[in-house]
Chains A and B, each alone.
Chain A
């Protein structure tokens, strides 16, 4: 069974602060995806990382895939209230996408 451990589970910060969310596994994934979800809606894909050591930037968001393709991180710079939501990491294993438990982020103005 492929498991993804995501931390922290909950994060409440002030606008302008930086934060990092971690996603770790003992399994090797062919790709690692990050999603953001609003209440009552389906998750929306933010990024897919495929190559070990890969770093991708999406405006104030920086995503990194571990060299061994077992872990990933999401770093947000200067968080804004609009960043509030549930952030989910997910690892592709064969035909299956396995999700972490998610990080609930709240950015206060």
Chain B
């Protein structure tokens, strides 16, 4: 069966520090991978998605970047965090279209 792993679960980082969140998927090949950010109790904002290794589409211009170095690995990064980067970050995968499976999320607090 397919599983998705996302870590860390919580993170407190100072303003100006770098960020690296990792997401890996098991049990499937060539999945579509996604990074979302969620404000408290509200909808999800799509940040990046990838349909293959090295292929990244950015939805919102911002202080973040994404990379897909391997088929089942998706990384969200920042060189210098801002206070506004705080939020709940979710990774998801989909077999090209239907039924997304989400990771358990990373709660990022920038202080």
Contacts and interface: CB of A to CB of B under 8 A. Distances in A.
A31 B42 contact: no
The secondary-structure label for the interface of chain B is strand
Interface of A: 6, 30-31, 33, 39-45, 48, 50, 86, 88, 90, 92, 95-102, 104
A102 B101 contact: no
B43 A101 contact: yes
A96 B99 contact: no
A101 B105 contact: no
Contacts of A6: 43
Given A43-B44, A97-B92, A98-B46, 13 more contacts: A41-B104, A42-B6, A42-B90, A42-B103, A42-B104, A42-B105, A43-B100, A45-B99, A48-B98, A95-B57, A99-B44, A99-B46, A101-B43
Contacts of B59: 96
Given A43-B44, A86-B41, A102-B42, A97 B94 contact: yes
A55 to B, nearest CB: 18
A31 B98 CA distance: 8
B95 to A, nearest CB: 12
Contacts of A48: 98-99
Contacts of B41: 39, 86, 102, 104
B51 interface: yes
